[in-house]
């Protein structure tokens, strides 16, 4: 290979490469790209097929730029010239390379250049001839030009984002090459990108441009690539730093954590936080110490799952992208609180806290109001601002308070004033949040502004200070957090200048790479810069900036050494790693091991169910043994652990029988002693074993011998009908030929009864099947059904004359068969864990209600129950108190394999009364139209609107001089429409679907809103009521005396509040009595009195007559007189439409509801 210097790139090397035979590939279609390989490849939405015949084999040859005249035998079809710049560093971020195609006129198949390595990936030029049809159906031949990345890799997990310029060079001096730009995320399915029609064949051949010389063309590519993902990119090797793994959507957190990590003074303080006694799974401080320590010393990307777990986050939180600013504030607040009372207390405010002064200064009098506030970050408005200086000027620009917006200066009255802020001090580390996400009132959601906004490596903030500080407020840029995407989501990366020396790195989750200052700063301004529109995506721009004060930069970026980390912390983290390695090894070798779960006889005591124990509640002694361990080795292990000689223990594995029981069975120890445990267990894992041991007080040196052919192992239970309890009475070896009668003395002895006590014996065969043993003189093998080891005999005293609820063990087990544990949850308490009761599935509604009422401490008839919604863990329809089924029928819809659950709620009225009523929710509103009290009304379902009003009257306190009468109006979007008459039946309201109504009274009006559905309201009576546009509930008031009887020239006019747009209504609507011909000035007086507001505030109101959705503002109030016809409905108007109404236009001073993305929730760190 021959090396020469390129005239245009004096420091770069040129290398001429061998020619290469290339397979035929399918060609992409048009500009944009696709994969150059494969059959029937779809490119840019079009599937193209092209059959290209393979040319004859090429001869191999070598040509050098300095030896072109002395080239020897060259393949006559094509000679390849290959230029590589900066060949020495395969991890470089950019490179320029060339590929010369000779015998261009005879090019028939696609060709690939040799590889040029950028970011450790092979890049190749791909060239091919193309034919297509023009609009007039003429055949056009074109040159196809592509850039291929990692084309021969079989991996499907890699990706690499790159921008490139594809050039066709001219042999004519001083002639610019023809070039086109691309940007693409290269990955396995799209590993090449370019142009199917880079240039028409005819244009390539044009003589004046001289693209072709000696029947050859030279193609050149300049590629700039990001560090790749999914391949063996060694961040530590290339940069000295490592990244953080992304859990799903935690790139925002990773970017911020890297920024805090490189704030070295904070990192040192975090290390010194005392965490010796902290819970390793819940301590945020310890988890952050762990992440920082691994970032400093690990060679591989660091995980953050333990950190997010310490926050108290669920898995879903890691897949939900949050706001960087919000997360930073919450995390710093948590760190500040954790540092209190420690040696590093005050570190967070010392680093990040600045102060600003808010002021209001009157123009015409000597009066100023000031307030000093602290800040940890500054939000800068970027909309309409060119750079950071303009944003800071905008931040401290004063606002004039004049006209309708004068300042209330207390005893000085309303004054013209200016309002603003000025900075008192800036912190050592300054966080600037660029407000790229702002609320858009048109779309009613947050939108991202991608406008160009310039910021600088060095800034001076001296001009924004109230008074100069001891050191100048000069800052150096330390980090740039960048967001790519829109308001619905995207990706965060961070560019950091770790040592403040201008050497930048890009941290993209687990990948860290070196980058230029231009990439870190200039490329993240945003906007549509023509010079960079192919280098930077339009939606990629800076979102947060971190500056460090020049006077503090040595302190903030002080080196953090191993000596700065407490030895106790290092040892704890090392021990954690050691334990993790052990657990990882156990997981990797888990397939080689099995669990042997051992039960001793004391585990059977107290068990009240079938068989000998409850598998779900048993306290096993668990032994982890290799599957290839022999039974002999297992017995030695058990003997050593249980502290018994091996001859004093005998294993009895539990085996599931065909009749749904689980009983101990015999092991043939002599035959199986040298078999592996997994074979003896018949591949059961875990393997449950009852280990019989010599009773401590027996004096025996070894267990009695057991003859598998003539002996049987029996277990005994005593049933006490008085207490309805089972008592375990041990086990015994019995000859199979022994008579049942021989058991009686043994059982009396075990039970502590006199030897001659008459007993009744039963055999426990399976759940709900217990059979009495009748003939005591027969041998066991004849009396017991299919006599086997592990059979259970239940016995009790023979008390035929005594009456008990469950007189026999057969009755007891039958009742037990129907028992079920039911969890009752309060429906009104979100995520209520409830309480659990053991009930019989044969219980009636009344029996269940009494059991729950006793537990809750209330009357059974003051409880209402709800079945589980079909296989969901939420309440469904309410249960009627007349329900005639059993508890078993109520549990049918519970989720399988979960605790059975029923919901309940406590009532104020008896359930049998409630079922004959309908529920309505409304708010009682006082004379000044202020919400005071929520009412829940229960009129009879067959009643009228008058009954509803009567129910409301019982719960409210009427005014002394009021009329004592109520009325009802319908409210829709904070506007009154109309209401039903008092004699209207409540059930007729069902036919109108879902409504919201209002009742009116006194010096105001009532809005009694309630929802009525077409189905029986009983089914929804306990659900929350909603009003579609109302935003409140419903209101109730009393009718004023002067509105009881209206004259012919009087009427009640609906009144509503709005701001700017008549559809933007708010507040409580009401009705006002007006008289025909009265001046509007009198109407205003009554309005001001009714609303109870100050005159100076009322002067800001504007008034409009709103008819059929159009507002007619009353401009000349002195000349306007009331005309009742203006407020009457148009005969052609739809009945559901609102009547003409009087609009009060003014600012809505009520607090606005917060606006959240429906997928977002506030960030919280719970621990």
Query: Which of 277, 280, 300, 279 is closest to 290 using CA atoms?
Result: 280
Q: Report in angstroms the alpha-carbon separations of 291 from 310, 573, 728.
A: 12, 10, 54
Q: Which two tokens stand for residue 182?
A: 């691309």
Helix (H, G, I), strand (E, B) or coil at 923: strand
Element (H, E) at 1078: none
Q: Which two tokens stand for residue 1078?
A: 């009265």
Query: Which of 173, 176, 180 is closest to 142 using CA atoms?
Result: 180
Query: Which of 670, 620, 614 is closest to 641 using CA atoms?
Result: 620
* Annotation says 1121 is catalytic: no
Contacts of residue 812, defined as CB under 8 A and 6 or more positions apart, other chains included, come to: 719, 721, 724, 726, 806
- Measured in whole angstroms, how far is the alpha carbon of residue 976 from the centre of its chain? 41
What is the distance in angstroms between the CA of the first residue and the CA of the last residue of the chain?
A: 64
Residue 500: exposure state from Cβ atoms within 10 A (0-12, 13-18, ≥19): middle
Q: Report in angstroms the alpha-carbon separations of 545 from 25, 434, 452, 482.
A: 48, 8, 15, 9
- Residues 575, 576, 582, CA angle at the centre, nearest 5°? 90
User: To the nearest 10°, the Cα dihedral for 692, 675, 625, 690?
Assistant: -20
Cβ burial 422-442 (10 Å sphere, 16+ → b, else e)? bbbebbbbbbbbbebbeeeee
Instruction: Kindly give the interhelix angle for 284-297 and 264-271, rounded to the nearest 10 degrees.
Output: 120
Q: Going by DSSP bridges, is the β-strand pair 900-906/819-826 parallel, antiparallel, or unpaired?
A: parallel
Calpha distance 791→712 (Å, rounded): 9
The one catalytic residue among 149, 160, 251, 729: 251
Q: Going by DSSP bridges, is the β-strand pair 42-43/46-47 parallel, antiparallel, or unpaired?
A: antiparallel
Q: Is the peptide bond before 687 cis (omega within 30 degrees of 0)?
A: no
Query: Which of 323, 457, 472, 491 is closest to 387 using CA atoms?
Result: 457
Calpha distance 977→983 (Å, rounded): 19
> DSSP string covering 986-1050, please?
GGGGGGG-S--EEEE-TTS---------SS-GGGGTTSPP--TTTSS--EE----GGGTS--TTE
Helix (H, G, I), strand (E, B) or coil at 435: coil
The one catalytic residue among 197, 238, 491, 997: 491
Cβ burial 337-356 (10 Å sphere, 16+ → b, else e)? ebbeeeebeebbeebbbbeb
* Annotation says 491 is catalytic: yes
Q: Going by DSSP bridges, is the β-strand pair 687-693/593-599 parallel, antiparallel, or unpaired?
A: parallel
Asked whether 129 and 201 are in contact (CB, 8 A), the reply is yes
Cβ burial 857-871 (10 Å sphere, 16+ → b, else e)? eeebbbbbbbbbeee
Cross-strand partners of 902: 824
Calpha distance 430→263 (Å, rounded): 11
Asked whether 466 and 524 are in contact (CB, 8 A), the reply is no
**What are the φ and ψ backbone dihedral angles of 996, each rounded to 5 degrees?**
-130, 125
Catalytic residues, by residue number, are: 251, 491
């Amino acid at each position: 290979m021959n090396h020469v210097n390129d005239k245009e790139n004096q420091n770069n090397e040129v290398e001429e490469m061998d020619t290469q035979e290339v397979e035929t590939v399918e060609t992409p279609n048009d500009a944009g790209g696709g994969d150059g390989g494969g059959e029937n490849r779809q490119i840019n939405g079009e599937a193209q097929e092209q059959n290209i015949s393979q040319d004859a084999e090429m001869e191999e040859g070598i040509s050098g730029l300095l030896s072109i005249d002395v080239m020897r035998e060259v393949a006559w079809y094509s000679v390849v010239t290959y230029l590589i710049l900066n060949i020495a560093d395969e991890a470089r971020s950019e490179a320029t390379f060339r590929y010369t195609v000779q015998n261009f006129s005879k090019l028939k198949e696609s060709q690939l250049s040799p590889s040029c390595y950028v970011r450790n990936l092979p890049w190749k030029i791909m060239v091919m001839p193309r034919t297509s049809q023009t609009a007039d159906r003429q055949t056009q031949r074109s040159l196809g030009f592509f850039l291929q990345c990692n084309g021969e890799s079989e991996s499907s997990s890699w990706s690499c984002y790159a921008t490139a310029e594809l050039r066709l060079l001219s042999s004519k001096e001083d002639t610019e090459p023809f070039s086109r730009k691309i940007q693409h995320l290269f990955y396995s399915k799209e590993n090449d990108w370019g142009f199917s029609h880079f240039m028409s064949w005819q244009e390539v051949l044009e003589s004046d441009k001289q693209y072709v010389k000696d029947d050859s063309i030279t193609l050149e590519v300049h590629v700039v690539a990001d560090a790749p993902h999914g391949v063996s990119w060694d961040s530590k090797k290339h940069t000295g730093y490592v990244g953080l793994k992304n859990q799903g959507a935690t790139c925002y957190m990773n970017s911020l954590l890297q920024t805090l990590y490189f704030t070295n003074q904070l990192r040192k303080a975090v290390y010194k936080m005392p965490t010796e006694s902290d819970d390793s799974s819940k301590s945020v401080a310890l988890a952050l110490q762990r992440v920082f320590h691994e970032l400093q010393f690990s060679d591989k990307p660091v995980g953050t799952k333990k950190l997010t777990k310490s926050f108290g986050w669920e898995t879903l939180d890691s897949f939900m992208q949050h706001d960087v600013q919000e997360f930073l504030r919450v995390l710093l607040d948590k760190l500040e609180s954790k540092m209190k009372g420690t040696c590093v207390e005050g570190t967070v405010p010392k680093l990040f806290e600045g102060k600003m002064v808010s002021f209001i200064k009157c123009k015409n009098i000597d009066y100023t109001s000031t307030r000093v506030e602290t800040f940890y970050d500054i939000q800068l408005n970027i909309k309409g601002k060119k750079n950071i200086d303009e944003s800071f000027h905008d931040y401290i620009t004063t606002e004039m308070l004049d006209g309708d917006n004068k300042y209330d200066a207390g005893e000085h009255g309303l004054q013209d004033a200016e309002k603003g802020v000025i900075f008192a001090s800036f912190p050592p580390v300054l966080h600037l949040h660029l407000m790229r996400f702002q609320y858009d009132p048109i779309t009613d959601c947050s939108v991202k502004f991608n406008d160009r906004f310039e910021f600088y490596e060095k800034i001076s903030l001296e001009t924004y200070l109230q008074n100069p500080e001891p050191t100048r407020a000069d800052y150096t840029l330390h980090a740039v957090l960048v967001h790519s995407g829109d308001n619905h989501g995207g990706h965060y990366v961070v560019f950091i200048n770790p040592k403040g020396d201008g050497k930048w790195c890009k941290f993209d989750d687990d990948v860290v790479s070196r980058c230029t200052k231009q990439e870190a700063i200039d490329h993240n301004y945003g906007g549509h810069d023509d010079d960079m529109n192919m280098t930077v995506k339009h939606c990629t721009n800076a979102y947060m900036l971190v500056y460090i004060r020049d006077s503090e930069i040595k302190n903030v970026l002080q080196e953090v050494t191993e000596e700065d980390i407490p030895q106790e912390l290092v040892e704890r983290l090392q021990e954690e790693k050691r334990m993790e390695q052990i657990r990882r090894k156990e997981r990797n070798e888990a397939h080689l091991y099995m669990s042997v779960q051992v039960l001793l006889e004391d585990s059977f005591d107290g068990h009240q169910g079938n068989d000998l124990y409850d598998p779900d509640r048993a306290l096993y002694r668990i032994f982890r043994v290799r599957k290839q361990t022999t039974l002999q080795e297992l017995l030695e292990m058990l003997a050593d652990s249980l502290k018994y000689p091996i001859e004093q223990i005998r294993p009895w594995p539990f085996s599931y029988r065909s009749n749904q029981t689980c009983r101990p069975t015999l092991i043939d120890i002599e035959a199986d002693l040298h078999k592996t445990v997994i074979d003896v267990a018949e591949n059961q894992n875990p393997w449950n074993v009852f280990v019989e041991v010599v009773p401590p007080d027996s004096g025996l040196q070894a267990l009695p011998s057991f003859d598998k052919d003539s002996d049987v192992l029996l277990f005994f239970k005593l049933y006490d009908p008085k207490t309805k309890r089972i008592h375990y009475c041990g086990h015994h070896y019995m000859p199979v030929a022994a008579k049942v009668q021989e058991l009686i003395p043994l059982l009396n002895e075990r039970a502590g009864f006199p030897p001659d006590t008459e007993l009744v014996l039963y055999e426990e065969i399976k759940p709900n099947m217990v059979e009495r043993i009748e003939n005591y003189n027969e041998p066991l093998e004849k009396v017991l059904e299919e006599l086997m080891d592990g059979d259970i005999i239940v016995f009790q005293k023979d008390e035929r004359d005594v009456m008990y609820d469950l007189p026999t063990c057969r009755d007891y087990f039958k009742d037990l068969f129907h028992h079920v544990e039911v969890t009752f949850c309060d429906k009104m308490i979100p995520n209520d864990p409830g309480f659990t009761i053991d009930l019989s599935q044969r219980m009636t509604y009344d029996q269940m209600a009494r059991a729950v009422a006793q537990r809750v401490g209330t009357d059974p008839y003051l409880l209402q129950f709800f079945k589980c919604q079909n296989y969901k863990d939420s309440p469904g329809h309410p249960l009627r108190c007349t329900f005639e089924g059993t508890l078993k029928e109520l549990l049918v819809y519970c989720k399988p394999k979960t605790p059975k659950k029923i919901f309940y709620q406590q009532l104020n009225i008896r359930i049998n009364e409630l079922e004959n009523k309908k529920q309505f929710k409304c708010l009682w509103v006082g004379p000044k139209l202020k919400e005071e009290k929520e009412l829940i009304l229960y009129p009879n379902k067959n009643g009228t609107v008058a009954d509803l009003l009567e129910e409301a009257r019982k719960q409210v306190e009427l005014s002394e001089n009021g009329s004592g009468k109520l009325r009802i109006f319908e409210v829709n979007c904070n506007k009154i429409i109309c209401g039903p008459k008092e004699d209207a039946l409540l059930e007729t309201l069902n036919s109108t679907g879902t409504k919201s109504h209002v009742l009116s009274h006194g010096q105001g009006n009532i809005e009694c809103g309630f929802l009525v559905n077409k189905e029986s309201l009983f089914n929804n009576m306990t659900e929350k009521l909603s009003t579609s546009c109302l935003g409140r509930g419903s209101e109730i008031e009393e009718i004023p005396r002067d509105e009881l009887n209206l004259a012919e020239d009087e009427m009640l006019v609906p009144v509503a509040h709005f701001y700017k747009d008549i559809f933007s209504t708010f507040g409580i609507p009401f009705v006002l009595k007006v008289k025909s011909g009265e001046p509007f000035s009198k109407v205003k007086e009554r309005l001001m009195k009714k609303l109870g507001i100050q005159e100076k505030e009322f002067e800001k109101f504007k008034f409009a007559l709103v008819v059929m959705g159009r507002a007619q503002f009353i401009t000349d109030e002195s000349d306007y007189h009331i005309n009742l016809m203006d407020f009457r409905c148009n005969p052609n108007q739809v009945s559901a439409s609102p009547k003409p109404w009087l609009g009060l236009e003014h600012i809505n001073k009520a607090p606005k509801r917060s606006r959240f993305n429906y997928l977002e929730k506030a960030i919280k760190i719970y621990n």
